[in-house]
Amino acid sequence: ANITFDNVIYSSNNFSKNGYSTNISGKETIPDNKTAQFIKFDDMIEEGRKVAQRSYVVQVNSENSCIELHDYCQSICTVENMFYYRVKDDHFVLVEFSNSEAAHKLSFDPNNLAVVSPFIWFRTGKKKKLVPSSVNVSPLINISQGPTELEIIEWMTVAQSLLDEMEILYQSTKLSQLGFKLRMICARQVEMMLSGLFPNIRAFPFGSTVNSFGKEGCDLDLVLRYNFSQENSDDLRLVHHSKINGISSRGQTQRQMELLGDLLQIYVPGVIGVKRILGARVPIIKYSHEFTGVDVDISLTNMSAMYMSELLYIFAHLDPAAQRLVFSIKAWAKVVGLTNPSPGRWITNFSLTLLVLFYLQNERRLPSIDDLFKLAGPNDTRYAEEINCSFIRDLRNVRLELDHSKTTAELLLGFFNFYQNFDFNNKAISLCSAKIINKLDYSPMYIVNPLDRNLNVTKNVSLEEVERIRVEARNAAWALETSSRLVDLFRSSPESLMSKRKYISRMVMVKDLFQT
Ligand code: GTP
Ligand code: MG
């Protein structure tokens, strides 16, 4: 087989693993706002689902098994793509067949008593002479190995401009194609497990896996719907009895979640560390997937969060600067300790993303959500948990008056200046109207929930944390005005009195930056 070692994960941008070289300095390299080529959110997910339906993750002994595995798989069905990756010391190959015929062959092995799942392993075969496969049919086996966090910091250090630094950070830490595919396969595994009982089950991905702001290593948020069906069965008079009617009480939902947790824990290969968090506003099951390294959160009643992710996806496609800015701001917030992996009185990545989007609205780079609601057509009507989620979903041929004259680097400084002066004491942020409004209660920070307008997304954030956001934004603005370097925001604080201990812990955080 023809194996290509593809260590350069973003070679099209002139970065290489052996060093950073670029000819993009000083110029905006991000594409123009080409909404004509826009892929609708639903279509993007549907495409990912279809690929997952003809994909398997095969555990192998080492990368040396790739060729043998390829030849074996090729004898079952044409192989379109293979991606080799490792999770700790285990070796895996994502095999993408060209059609779902392979799925049929692999799923119905009558001697196999295991739960049918897209995760399999490659048993040692009988010794026989391998006939080398013809070069024409061999796929590229992509060896997936991203750069280390220190390499990224190095590249940023030698980058020629702030703009380049932002581009490097974005390109080298965003969720990869393989990362997205593996998450779609994890979603499919949950569907496969439950499809015997619920033939119409759908596991919808939402959150950063699909909202265009996902980092490599981000978690997979799933919402399960048992009764998903696109067909209108109003005319059908013979109706199945059902114990689940879609509208279940909180108690029923918790029972279902408990059962789901048990099923995953007991039967499903790869699932480890199942936790049931049933007291939260949205009850969830959490687990880790040892064959993909992905952390998964499953809920049953959170379709509006999926539409929220679609809204963010639409914003990301209306302003290409949005992703670069969000990646830089999230990285900065993590290093200075504004965000924290455990939930608490600090700002979340989601709220931080909303702060960035609001700032871009304020710069007239993004429309208000009200505008997106007004543009909704008849096919855009959606309701989830009684919330109206009907906004325009197809950006092709949409004309909006947006001002994209500022560079992404100017926007970074602009963001810090905007929020260091923001009157969080009295004012709230509304992405719906794209306006600063008066606060509706005494929460220290108030961001109107873009879909459920009676809620405050940042209700959890404490007064001290709000003050810290402003102080850190001021420090960042100061540092940027002094050196115009993004790495300097990560490396040291402008407070000259910062203790050595704090400095060291911050360097450790820089190392952590590119891990989840
Ligand atoms: P990561 O940190 O990369 O996982 O980002 P994420 O956007 O996926 O965040 P997370 O996994 O915490 O949440 C998943 C989704 O739930 C988000 O994208 C939002 O749609 C929704 N969500 C998260 N936090 C909040 C919140 O505080 N309020 C509301 N209304 N929705 C939230
Ligand atoms: Mg998430």
Three-state SS annotation for 337-375: CCCCCCCCCCCCHHHHHHHHHHHHHHCCCCCCHHHHHHC
User: Ligand 1 mean position to 227 CA, how many Å?
Assistant: 24
Q: Look at ligand 1, atom 21, and give the residue with the nearest C-alpha.
A: 305
> Residue 135's pLDDT is what?
36
Cα 458 to Cα 364: distance, rounded to the nearest angstrom: 23
User: Ligand 2 mean position to 215 CA, how many Å?
Assistant: 10
pLDDT digits (tens, 9 = 90+) for 278-310: 988 889 999 999 999 999 999 988 889 999 999
Across the range 451-460, mean pLDDT stands at 94
Q: Computed from CA positions of residues 259, 260, 263, 264, in that sequence, does the dihedral angle turn out positive or negative?
A: negative
> Residue 9's pLDDT is what?
30
H or E element, residue 181: helix 177-194
Q: Computed from CA positions of residues 441, 444, 448, 452, in that sequence, does the dihedral angle turn out positive or negative?
A: negative
Q: Which ligand is nearest to the CA of 455?
A: 1
| Apex 118 CA angle, 113 and 122, nearest 5 | 75
Atom of ligand 1 nearest to the CA of 351: 27
> Residue 343's pLDDT is what?
85
E strands, 235-376, in order: 271-277, 284-289, 294-299
Q: Look at ligand 1, atom 14, and give the residue with the nearest C-alpha.
A: 207
User: Ligand 2 mean position to 368 CA, how many Å?
Assistant: 24
Query: Among residues 8, 6, 144, 120, which one has the least CA distance to residue 69?
Result: 120
Across the range 403-422, mean pLDDT stands at 95
Categorize the per-residue pLDDT at 493 as very low, low, confident or very high, splitting at 50, 70 and 90. very low
Is pLDDT above 50 for 252? yes
Q: Look at ligand 1, atom 11, and give the residue with the nearest C-alpha.
A: 207
Cα 396 to Cα 162: distance, rounded to the nearest angstrom: 32
Q: Look at ligand 1, atom 27, and give the residue with the nearest C-alpha.
A: 457
Atom of ligand 1 nearest to the CA of 455: 30
Q: Which residues line ligand 1 (CB under 6 A)?
A: 206-208, 211, 214-215, 218-219, 221, 305, 308-309, 348-350, 449, 457
Query: Among residues 117, 77, 67, 119, which one has the least CA distance to residue 98?
Result: 77
Is pLDDT above 90 for 151? no
Query: Among residues 378, 214, 400, 204, which one has the least CA distance to residue 312?
Result: 214
Cβ proximity of 368 and 433 under 8 Å? yes
User: Of 196-210, 244-258, 369-383, which gets the smallest average pLDDT?
Assistant: 244-258
User: Ligand 2 mean position to 302 CA, how many Å?
Assistant: 13
Atom of ligand 1 nearest to the CA of 353: 7
Across the range 205-224, mean pLDDT stands at 95
- CB neighbour burial string for 454-489, b if at least 16 within 10 angstroms, e if fewer: eebbbebbeeebbebbbebbbbbbebbeeeebbbbb
> Residue 516's pLDDT is what?
40
Give the mean pLDDT of the chain: 83
- For strands 202-206 and 220-225, give the pairing: antiparallel
Q: Look at ligand 1, atom 1, and give the residue with the nearest C-alpha.
A: 208
User: Of 124-128, 162-166, 244-248, 504-508, which gets the smallest average pLDDT?
Assistant: 504-508
> Residue 35's pLDDT is what?
65
Q: Look at ligand 1, atom 13, and give the residue with the nearest C-alpha.
A: 207
User: Ligand 1 mean position to 289 CA, how many Å?
Assistant: 20
User: Of 38-52, 93-107, 457-471, which gets the smallest average pLDDT?
Assistant: 93-107
User: Ligand 1 mean position to 147 CA, how many Å?
Assistant: 27
Categorize the per-residue pLDDT at 388 as very low, low, confident or very high, splitting at 50, 70 and 90. very high
Cα 314 to Cα 398: distance, rounded to the nearest angstrom: 12
List the beta bridge partners of residue 299.
223, 284
Position with higher pLDDT, 148 vs 89? 89
pLDDT digits (tens, 9 = 90+) for 177-199: 999 999 999 999 999 999 988 88
> Residue 129's pLDDT is what?
53
- For strands 79-87 and 90-97, give the pairing: antiparallel
Cβ proximity of 283 and 299 under 8 Å? yes
Is pLDDT above 50 for 30? no
Cβ proximity of 176 and 146 under 8 Å? yes
> Which ipTM was obtained for this model?
0.95
Cα 99 to Cα 241: distance, rounded to the nearest angstrom: 35
User: Ligand 1 mean position to 229 CA, how many Å?
Assistant: 26
Atom of ligand 1 nearest to the CA of 302: 16
Residues 6+ apart with CB under 8 A from 357: 312, 315, 322, 366, 431
List the beta bridge partners of residue 86.
91
Cα 4 to Cα 14: distance, rounded to the nearest angstrom: 18
Of 286, 300, 327, 350, best ligand 1 pocket probe by most atoms within 8 Å of the beta carbon? 350
User: Ligand 2 mean position to 219 CA, how many Å?
Assistant: 5
- Widest distance between CA atoms in the chain: 77
Terminal Cα distance for the chain, rounded: 34
User: Ligand 2 mean position to 505 CA, how many Å?
Assistant: 26
Q: Which ligand is nearest to the CA of 347?
A: 1
Categorize the per-residue pLDDT at 27 as very low, low, confident or very high, splitting at 50, 70 and 90. very low
Cβ proximity of 333 and 233 under 8 Å? no
